[in-house]
Structure 1
Amino acid sequence: METPAPTKSASILQIIGGLYILFGSFTLVSMLSNGKLCFAPLEGQTGLMADMLRSNPSYASIMRALFLPGLVFAVVQFGSGVGLLRLSALARKVAIGCALYGFAAALFTTWLTITYTLPFTLSHTLQQVKNPAMMETTRNITLAAGYVGIVLGLLYPLAAFILLKRIKIPRYSLPPSC
């Protein structure tokens, strides 16, 4: 018994599913590795993120509050990605919810980036520059990288939402057995 070839819409759903698995995996690894920054004492920890959390208690509180929702989102996103690979109608609905949550989270992250992260990163990066002639270039690259991250963070969940809303799960009918 042959299964029919996947349609173009099924292929798009499976690509989104693969991306959901990939991004969910990255988020899980990131959340687990950064958990020590959010919950362990910051004394003795090194790196840009530890410096940022130490310097701004409000930012540290926000990051701690976002840890559990981010962890749950990563697991749900990963699971919906697996379901999309299997062309599950329920997984499509969950993936639409993930896209909406992802867009809302991206809006909040945009505010967080503009308010806290980008100014701190820019200041920290500029302190590392030893050549005064490179100061303006470094500033522009840092700002461009921050804004590109913001745009991509907003576009992906929006594009996923639009595609997931338009594309329905194809129904395959099995050929009659001989």
Structure 2
Amino acid sequence: MHFTDIQAILAGQFGEAIQPDAPENLLQPALSIQTERLADVCAFLHRDERLYFDHLACVTALDNGPGLGTMEVIYNLTSIPYGHNLMLKVKLLRNQPGEPLPQVPTVSHIWRTADWHEREAYDLVGIHFEGHPDLRRILLPLDWEGHPLRRDYEVQEVYHGIRVRYEDRNVPTAEG
């Protein structure tokens, strides 16, 4: 099954909630999904016998920066029995410091692997996955401040008495 076939099935089921992503991305075509329809679309992709996307390979998030004012959550799906792949994208408005984090519904009830992937995106980029059963940091300590893969992230000077940031670029290394 080709990308256009999958797109047609989803468009027939979900209408305007599904849009092709930017046409300049020809190497790996993707579909943009309305945030509020994400869990429904993913459940359909998993259970529909024509598609059966049984494997969530990756969930990742990125910050497009204050200039664009958006963030994205990207899902890479695979149907192991049918051998086809699909990329889904959800675009979100970027929050300002002090505002609640951008929210996306969890898909951890559809694919168990989403549990860890969503926690990583929460930890590093600052996306809140609504309905996630255990949304807490996974790579950084629980009391870490901020989300280090955000474009506006400022490194803490000191964490629990340990110097985290050095201003001097001539700090000695193991090599000399």
TM-score, normalization: structure 2?
A: 0.28
**Who wins on radius of gyration, i.e. which is larger?**
1
Task: Please state which structure has a larger fraction of its residues in helix.
Answer: 1
Q: RCO greater where, 1 or 2, for CA within 8 Å and sep 6 or more?
A: 1
TM-score, normalization: structure 1?
A: 0.28
